[in-house]
A and B are shown apart, each in its own frame.
Chain A
Amino acid sequence: MNKNQKDWIDITSGVNVRKCMRCGKCSATCPSYDEMEYHPHQFVYMVEKGNIESLLNSKSLYKCLTCFACVERCPRGVEPAKVVEAVRLTAVRKQGNNHLIPDQIPEMLDEELPQQAIVTAFRKYTK
């Protein structure tokens, strides 16, 4: 376990992962559940245990829609989306590790796609 990395994620998220009582409500309410290898409750548990490397390399990081359903519905106020955000930032802040590069954008566009989608994707997928 990389203690520095865990501490850094705790600072970035501002979340106390030890408050989690493993009820699974965050994952139950997550609209991306089926698409994720690691689900919101697992993010919280794995960060608590310092098992961060597998999260950093998982595509699950880019499946969170930032819809705040888990944040709103957690009975312990753990706010799992903030943990996912902190791990995702730890991944994309590494040099050359952006998940989306501008050259990929043109093929994703269509006539009606709102600018809002592009701006948000950049904010979520790059440092």
Chain B
Amino acid sequence: MQTFTYYPGCTLRTKAKDLDAYARSSAEALGIQLVEPDNWQCCGGAYTTATNEVATKLSAVRTLMAAKDSEGLVTVCSACHNVIKQTNYDISRNEDMADKVKQYLGLEEAYTGETNVYHYLELLRDVVGFDNLKSKIVNPFKGKKIAAYYGCLLLRPSKALAMDDPENPTIMEDFIKAIGGTPVIYAQRNECCGGYITMEDKTQAEKRSSAVMDSAQSMGADMIITACPLCLYNLKKNSGSDMPVYYFTELLAEALGLKEDINE
């Protein structure tokens, strides 16, 4: 069994407990042990690109450092993934940033991006392998047309996230195929759902999330999947559409035959 450090983040502890539970049980069934570091802190939700912001990047660095000696750091939430990967990318290329972080945290040695960071989907693709995953499926989503929603945070900026082609990604579609479903390609799959704007401008969030849902539905999707709690919220709450929205880990657990165990 391979062991990885696992960072759930704030929302997987509260409003997105199922995203977390399905991720953990599926990993275990696939022979991956996820170990949560002690006393982790919230990632901040958004990466600050400003060159003279240091304090806002420290919690992500602490998380990265906690995983330094493990196989890698795994995240599920798209926002955590984005913040942690961008932090890791920038600190590995920017000596000044690494030095400032060292001073702030009182480190003996600077952290310069040594940790390997995986999104859970990358773990499935690069460590488990989609072919291997396919062989373990007991409840395939046969005949189901599933739309993958990447949103903005999983893929961009591609220089730092390096997960997939930012305009024509395949990782979620390959995941859908592995669990026996039929992926639906649609125009809005990597455009923003509105994100946090829902707090102060509902109309804008409604516009964005309905554009995503309408686009997926117009291509014949039965359901849509996401890795992000805020995307799930916007697509469910602000889109006006009744097409079902699921976390990809829920479909994974169901396909692996684990869903009833979790709900018991």
Tell me if B152 and A119 are in contact (CB < 8 A).
no
Question: Number of contact residues on A: which range applies?
Answer: 35 or more
Spell out B's residues near A (CB within 8 Å): 9-11, 14-16, 42, 44-53, 56, 77, 79, 151-153, 155-158, 166-167, 191-192, 194-201, 204, 207-208, 228-230, 232-233, 236-237
Main secondary structure of the interface of B (DSSP, over half): loop
Main secondary structure of the interface of A (DSSP, over half): helix
With both beta carbons as reference points, the residue of chain A lying nearest to B152 in the complex is identified as A67
- Which residues of chain A have C-beta atoms less than 8 A from B196's C-beta? 65, 116-118, 120-121, 124
The one of A12, A65, A116 in contact with B77, judged by C-beta atoms closer than 8 angstroms, is: A116
The one of A14, A108, A116 in contact with B200, judged by C-beta atoms closer than 8 angstroms, is: A108
A-B contact count (CB 8 A): 133
- Which residues of chain B have C-beta atoms less than 8 A from A44's C-beta? none
Tell me if B199 and A117 are in contact (CB < 8 A).
yes
28 cross-chain CB contacts under 8 A: A11-B51, A12-B52, A32-B197, A32-B204, A34-B207, A35-B201, A65-B152, A65-B195, A66-B47, A67-B156, A68-B152, A72-B157, A72-B158, A72-B167, A112-B15, A113-B15, A113-B198, A114-B16, A114-B229, A114-B232, A116-B9, A116-B45, A116-B77, A119-B44, A119-B45, A120-B45, A121-B199, A123-B46
Q: Which 5 pairs between the two chains have the least Cβ-Cβ distance?
A: A120-B45, A67-B152, A67-B192, A68-B156, A119-B45
With both beta carbons as reference points, the residue of chain A lying nearest to B234 in the complex is identified as A117
Interface membership of A47, Cβ < 8 A: no
With both beta carbons as reference points, the residue of chain A lying nearest to B197 in the complex is identified as A65
Q: Give A124 to B197 CA distance when docked, in angstroms.
A: 10
Q: Give A121 to B201 CA distance when docked, in angstroms.
A: 12
The one of B16, B49, B166 in contact with A72, judged by C-beta atoms closer than 8 angstroms, is: B166
Q: Give A62 to B42 CA distance when docked, in angstroms.
A: 22
Tell me if B199 and A68 are in contact (CB < 8 A).
no
Q: Give A95 to B46 CA distance when docked, in angstroms.
A: 22
Chain A residues 1-55 with CB under 8 Å of chain B are 11-14, 31-32, 34-35
Chain A residues 52-98 with CB under 8 Å of chain B are 62-63, 65-69, 71-72, 79, 81-82, 85-86, 89
Return A76 CB to nearest CB of chain B, in Å.
Answer: 15
Tell me if B191 and A119 are in contact (CB < 8 A).
no
Return A94 CB to nearest CB of chain B, in Å.
Answer: 15
Tell me if A117 and B198 are in contact (CB < 8 A).
yes
With both beta carbons as reference points, the residue of chain A lying nearest to B211 in the complex is identified as A31
- Which residues of chain A have C-beta atoms less than 8 A from B204's C-beta? 32, 35, 63
> By CB atoms of chain B within 10 A, which of A11, A113, A116, A120 has the most?
A116
Tell me if B79 and A112 are in contact (CB < 8 A).
no
- Which residues of chain B have C-beta atoms less than 8 A from A12's C-beta? 50-52
Q: Give A100 to B201 CA distance when docked, in angstroms.
A: 13
Given contacts A117-B45, A121-B199, 11 further A-B contacts (CB under 8 A): A31-B192, A32-B197, A66-B47, A67-B191, A69-B192, A72-B155, A100-B199, A113-B199, A114-B11, A115-B10, A115-B14
Tell me if A112 and B233 are in contact (CB < 8 A).
yes
